[in-house]
Amino acid sequence: MPYLIKNIDDENSNVAILSVWALGKIQDRRATDPLIELLENQLDDNADIIPFIAWALGEIEDERAFKPLVDLIEESPDPGHKETALKALVKIGGFELTGVLIKLLGDRDENVRAASAQALCVKPDRKAVDALIKTLSDSHRAVRIHAIMALSEIGSRDALKHLRKIAENSKDLDEREKARTAVMNIEKFGGKSMYHPPVNESEYSFIESLDIEKIEDYNIEDCMEFGTMPMDVLSKKDIDELLQQLK
């Protein structure tokens, strides 16, 4: 642990990123404060390491990281950083989460809005119903689809007339079908899950969403496979060897 923490702000960005990733895998709360400090120091530079830090904090699931992650979402100009921080917040949870997600349903970036609606499928809350109903008229299809699914998950009858309108009038077949299913779920079951998380939900598709070529640029033999195999298979010994070679 101390060795990894020492390396998270190494001048070699590859060493720093790998150390942050390893701390996320170890999930030890002793790493929370150093990671938060690193995140705060990197915000102005919009550095490549930021999504790794956000992801690691989500994996550790320490409530101390909640506010720094919210600050990242509010301050970062990068939608990808916002989305990664949002997914980390969902893992951490807490009574403030719904308010953050509701606010992000109005974000300028459609990917952030869609991720927020999707998060409300995972963490449904009746306080989000009005915001989700408004989101049904979003200009982007993915946002609307996730809003429909979240309303189905919540099961509020207040959404029925809006969902029926979509079910009858939408020009999008998938949108109509999702809305019809949501109406049935709410009417017959008081809400029922339409959300089927991907196999790697615990990772929030994090590995696939990042530029894996940057990791392959370590220029060491082991990394020829590093970008194609699951990161989970790397042992502590593997990590130590990679760090030593990078040094």
CB atoms within 10 A of CB 216: 15
pLDDT of residue 236: 62
Give φ, ψ of 220 to 5 degrees. -130, 150
Which SS3 state, helix, strand or coil, does residue 193 take?
coil
Query: How confident is the model at residue 222, as a pLDDT?
Result: 34
Measured from the Cβ of residue 182, the count of other Cβ atoms closer than 10 Å reads 29
**Tens place of pLDDT for every residue, the chain, 247 residues?**
788 898 898 888 888 888 998 899 889 999 999 999 999 988 777 688 999 999 999 999 999 999 999 999 988 888 889 989 999 999 999 999 999 999 999 999 999 999 999 999 989 999 999 999 999 999 999 999 999 999 999 999 999 999 999 999 999 999 999 999 999 999 887 765 555 454 344 433 433 343 333 433 333 233 223 333 334 445 566 666 666 665 5
Best CA proximity match to 99, nearest among 121, 120, 76, 75: 120
CA distances from 226 to 10, 213, 214, 229, 235 (A): 21, 10, 11, 6, 13
- Give the whole-angstrom CA distance, residue 172 versus residue 166: 9
Please give the model's pTM, rounded to 2 decimal places.
0.74
How far is it, in rounded angstroms, from Cα 205 to Cα 202? Answer: 8
